[in-house]
Amino acid sequence: MLAPMQGLTNRAMRSVQHQIGHPDVLFTEFLRVKQSTHHRISRNDRRESAAQISDTPLVVQLIGHTALSLAEAAQMVQDQGVQHININMGCPFGRTTSGKTGGAMLSVPELLPECLRAVREMVDGSLSVKIRAGYDNPEQIFELLPMFEDEGVDFLILHPRTVVQKYEGSADHNITRRVVAATSMPIIANGDVVTAKQGMALLADSGAAGLMIGRGAIADPLIFERLRGRAPARVDASRQKQEACDYLKYVLVAYQELFCGDQQVLGKLKGVVACFSEPSLQRWVKRLRRCRSLEGFVAELE
């Protein structure tokens, strides 16, 4: 699965990922659920949720904090033809709407059953939850598993850090393995997978039903094909740079169709390049990030 990454997995990026790596499942960025009864989801977010690519399943992620607003938002996107809804209980970065949303929902676990029940009753297709291991206690997930099962959640995507950790330290996939053993729900492993080798090792060790990949896919969309054995697991430095150049040219074209003006496109491209962690590319990455114009960025690609 391609992870939902705010500011990155817009419909243009999802299209490029589909063309190159063919992830089995695509996720939208989170859609903010507003308290206004007439405008639960913004017009642009509704366009994002309607941007289906071929027959690849698109999961629409909602971030909100009340049962009524989440259920009505789920109904709104379902009316557009959306078949798969995900609730964000993992975002660690403060409030994205009024009230406790994302990972902050785990600080008020008593409110979760009502929210999930309301959405489950509204949604005809799949309902999943993307979650951290806990708010400040990595063992909290084990207390929540029976509730998720009782409320009809179809699968969980687990990032085994706490909310207060944000992205510090390492994802503790020993927790992933223990959660897989503790529930009959399919568990999708998420966190710190940037190579196919890491992904295969995590699947083998944890018994997870699948992987969700974020930064690793933004840096290398071929990671999905590498996991399937249809692309080399590793390539030399020259090939890495050529693949990255080809990929960025695809992204450039897609971003020019979606965003307005060279500076906005350049800023978005630099956001993609910021995910490149391969050591052999870092001098080149620095040059790309220092480009002051889109023309200069394109010249660097050439």
Catalytically active residues are 91
Residue for token digits 């956001």?
Answer: 271
Q: Which ranges in the chain belong to alpha helices (H)?
A: 11-20, 43-49, 67-79, 112-122, 140-150, 173-182, 196-206, 215-219, 223-228, 237-258, 262-273, 282-290, 294-301
The half-sphere exposure of 192 on its side-chain side, counting CA atoms within 13 A, is 14
DSSP state of 103: G
- Residue 177 · residue 207 · CB < 8 Å: yes
- Residue 6 · residue 38 · CB < 8 Å: no
Which residues on neighbouring strands pair with residue 62, listed in sequence order? 31, 87
- For residue 173, give every residue at least 6 positions away whose Cβ sits within 8 Å of its Cβ, in sequence order, or none: 160, 189, 191, 192, 202, 205, 206
